[in-house]
A = this chain, B = another copy of it.
Amino acid sequence: MIYADYNGSAPLLPAVREYMKTRLESDLFANPNAIHTMGQRLTKGINRCREIISEIVGCHPDQLYFNSGSSEGVSHIIHSVLGSAPANKKVIITSPIEHAVVPAALDFYAKKQGLVIKHVEIDSEGRVKIASLEKLLEENKDKIALVSIMAANNETGVLQPYQEMSKLCQKYQVDFFSDTTQLIGKGDFNFAESGVDYAVCSGHKLGSLTGIGFIIAKEPTKLLPLVFGSTQEKGIRGGTMHYLGIETLAIAFKDFQENQHRLADLKKARLNFEAEIKKAFPNVAIIGEKAPRLAGTTLIGYPGIHGQAAQIELESQDIFVTTSAACSDNQPETSKVLKAMGVDDHIGRSVIRISLSYSHGQQEYSALAQGLKAAYTKLNKIQSY
């Protein structure tokens, strides 16, 4: 089996499985907020995990707050920034290629508070046009409540110029939230150096237990609570801590740190794979081909062969890919991201997303090339549109 849907979710890392096997034998289960030493030991463990992760993502431990994952993180940040925005800040700037949670949360608060949402332009390679952001910042000067633009796209893997966007937002003194869900654990990211005000992470994308993640905030005191509680996470996020998730997240981050150097080989193998497919099928399109992308992400389409047909054909070979993002509508049509890039329906309907992690390399891509060539050869005879 080749599981090639790491942008959707990563399987539990081997290191996490080993940890959990031992952890299940332990007696240390309690409420970390309890007064007794069992609770206190768990709290110490949580804070040690916070330190480990903070060091790897380049933030201060006081800037990192655990939660249930990125959807909560995105909702929390947008709730906080828009919920406390001064009355004269009526404009939100975002992009048309965000993960579904971002427009859903922005629309809700925009409608509630009478805010206007404006979108930056995307170039044909899937990157935010910096000039477009600058124009919107200038045109709406002193009226902007929030800029919310992602750091790496979930469908295409295209890396966004978040550092440049940060600098522009700082120049215009506007809060900048960058959805880093797909970047953290898959590429270089350092919160302090990034210049962004808010970032988010979902542990399951890195191979920890499910149901865990965090937000990072440059100035956490600006956050309003979304999930209320008592003193947990300094009042910023209530609820009994998901300490098993947190412990495995620290393990996943250590695993990432130890293996991050392998991303270069992953990228090389991915580029070889893409070249091999293109050589065999010159009609094939690689989305965002000329843009910098996540090391292990390819969004590839063979016009005339429906993405879903290719996905099913690959699955019959025990290879698991998706057609677009898991959280898109899974509709058999061109995704919003591709539409924003100006991708033609003929290509848009044909794409499949292949996403691997730093634990993979040439071996997996060779098998993927063989599988995809067989699928395309077979399906080419019965083109579906």
Residues of A that sit less than 8 Å from B by CB: 1, 3, 5, 8-12, 17, 20-21, 24, 27, 29-31, 33-39, 67-72, 74-75, 100-101, 104-105, 108, 202, 204, 209-212, 224-232, 238-245, 308, 311, 315, 320-323, 326-330
- Assuming A11-B27, A35-B322, A71-B227, what are 14 further A-B pairs, CB within 8 angstroms? A8-B39, A9-B29, A31-B326, A33-B326, A34-B326, A35-B323, A68-B239, A69-B240, A72-B239, A75-B226, A100-B229, A101-B230, A108-B225, A230-B327
Contact B8 A34 (CB under 8 A): yes
Contact A30 B12 (CB under 8 A): no
A83–B35 Cα distance when bound, in Å, is: 35
Chain A's interface: helix, strand, loop or mixed, by majority?
Answer: loop
With A29-B10, A30-B8, A242-B210 known to touch, is A231 a contact of B329 (CB < 8 Å)? yes
Q: Which residue of B lies closest to A4 (CB)?
A: B36
A48–B204 Cα distance when bound, in Å, is: 22
A240–B327 Cα distance when bound, in Å, is: 8
Contact B227 A75 (CB under 8 A): yes
Residues on B with beta carbons closer than 8 Å to the beta carbon of A101:
228-230, 238-239
Residues on B with beta carbons closer than 8 Å to the beta carbon of A320:
30, 34, 36-38
Partner among B1, B8, B11, B108 whose Cβ is within 8 Å of the Cβ of A228: B108
Least distance between A330 CB and chain B CB atoms (Å): 5
A1–B27 Cα distance when bound, in Å, is: 10
Q: Which residue of B lies closest to A78 (CB)?
A: B228
Contact A71 B210 (CB under 8 A): no
Residues on B with beta carbons closer than 8 Å to the beta carbon of A225:
75, 104, 108
Residues on B with beta carbons closer than 8 Å to the beta carbon of A330:
33, 35
Q: Which residue of B lies closest to A71 (CB)?
A: B239
Partner among B30, B35, B238, B326 whose Cβ is within 8 Å of the Cβ of A104: B238
Q: Which residue of B lies closest to A7 (CB)?
A: B31
Residue among A33, A228, A230 having the largest count of chain B Cβ atoms under 10 Å: A228
Contact A211 B29 (CB under 8 A): no
Least distance between A105 CB and chain B CB atoms (Å): 4
Contact A211 B68 (CB under 8 A): yes
A108–B224 Cα distance when bound, in Å, is: 10
With A5-B36, A243-B210 known to touch, is A328 a contact of B230 (CB < 8 Å)? yes
